[in-house]
Amino acid sequence: MDMDSSGIRLAEVRSQLAMDSDSDSDTTVTPKKEPFPDFDAELCVPDLNNRHEAAWTYAFGKAVQNDIRTRYVDPFITPHNPGEPFTRSHILLEAIKDLLADPQMRETTRQQFIVLINHTLHLHEVVFHHSDKFLDTKETAEAKVLAEIILSYLVWMDGKLRDQVIAAEQVAVVLDQVSKEKTTICERYCRMTTVVSAHLKKPRPLERRLLTLFLEVYEAWVHNTFLRQRNCQILAEGIPVTGRIGLSRRIIAIWDVLTRCIENYSLYTWATRTIRANYFAPAMDLLSDAPDIWQQCWDKRSTIHDRRSIHPGQFEQPLSGQAVKIPQQFDNMEEQRSTNGQSTPVAELEVAEA
């Protein structure tokens, strides 16, 4: 009895294991289909995988950013007065260091702004910490040189951005003309992309953020404190000092040009967005029918090619959408003479056929 009961129980267990097999009647053999299939990461919990991938990407990005800052940013950007208390100016300096260490920042832009920030920190040290007397003769001359270096680079940058804004306006005019051409959408789209790629550059939000943050750093380290102390000094001065006046104008001009750079970058970004919304977005909507358009163009081209191969030289400029009429001519002049009984000039024959 025990053997029979155990055999019955074993058969029941095997039948349960074979529920997913191809044969439902066979309960005494191992199932052909695995009851517990392998885990497929692509089919199971896609949101969880995306979160894990995003977390890994963020972690690697932070590691690269920390490496860039340790190697290329921190050794070159250091305040000249480390004993100064940690204030908002230092917080802004740490923020711009993190931004310069971003892996997506272009190397040339990083190096240029490292130089600008170093000159700004040096200007802060010369103006506020080299002498007990504010804007002494020696400090004024040295500060004027540093301010001139910063100002000259910002003026160059402002000119480049202004040229980009003008180029974007001119490209918009050209794209408006291209969009009205009587050609296929594929041809118009190719022409528009050629014009844009040749004359415009893609705006980078990271660069605009860098300009804005550098303005805050300049205000915190030089501009605001200088204006407060300089205003008090002007009231106390009996005789105006030419060197101090020139330095004051350069300090204010740096702030003005830097603000204009940010405005021009915003104008350029807005111009590119307008171009994309007015010309490329409608073109992309029409390109959804591109396979049909290409097929029609190919069929028309094939028809013209076949007709040219049969009658060469007679289909140079066929009218689109209209059937091309094939003029019927005699095979030779002998057949024409036998039909009319007399020869007909070539000019009269062409006029008659026309």
Q: What is the pLDDT of residues 53-78, one digit of tens each?
A: 777 777 777 777 777 777 777 766 76
**pLDDT confidence band for 35 (50 / 70 / 90):** low
24 domain-assigned = no
Distance CA 59, CA 50 (A): 14
Identify the residue with better confidence: 283 or 131: 283
Q: Are the CB atoms for 43 and 25 separated by under 8 Å?
A: no
Range with the poorest average pLDDT among 39-43, 65-69, 111-115, 244-248: 39-43
Q: Which domain holds residue 140?
A: 47-290
Domain assignment present for residue 55? The answer is: yes
263 belongs to a structural domain: yes
Assigned domain for 194 exists = yes
161 falls within a domain: yes
Number of domains in the chain: 1
Which one, of 143, 100, 148, 96, lies nearest residue 124 by Cα?
143
**CA 58 remoteness from chain centre:** 21
Q: What is the pLDDT of residue 301?
A: 73
H or E element: which one contains 292?
helix 290-310
Provide the CB-side half-sphere exposure for 38 (13 A, CA): 3
Element of type H or E holding 299 = helix 290-310
* Predicted pLDDT of residue 133: 81
Q: For residue 191, what pLDDT band results from cuts at 50, 70 and 90?
A: very high
Whether 227 is in a domain gets the answer yes
What is the rounded CA–CA span in Å between residue 181 and residue 187? Answer: 10
Which of residues 342 and 89 earns the better pLDDT score? 89
Quick one: 148 exposed, middle or buried, by C-beta within 10 A (0-12, 13-18, 19+)?
middle
DSSP state of 19: T
More confident residue, 192 or 320: 192
Residue 223 scores a pLDDT above 60: yes
Quote the mean pLDDT of the chain: 76
Contacts of 140 (CB under 8 A, 6+ apart): 241, 243, 244, 247
Which residues does 261 contact at the CB level (< 8 Å), separation at least 6? 154, 157, 158, 161, 211
In a domain, residue 354? The reply is no
Decide if pLDDT at 322 tops 50: no
- Residue 138 resides in a domain: yes
The dihedral sign for the CA sequence 164, 165, 166, 170: positive
Task: Indicate if the pLDDT at residue 291 is higher than 50.
Answer: yes
For 128-138, what is the mean pLDDT?
83
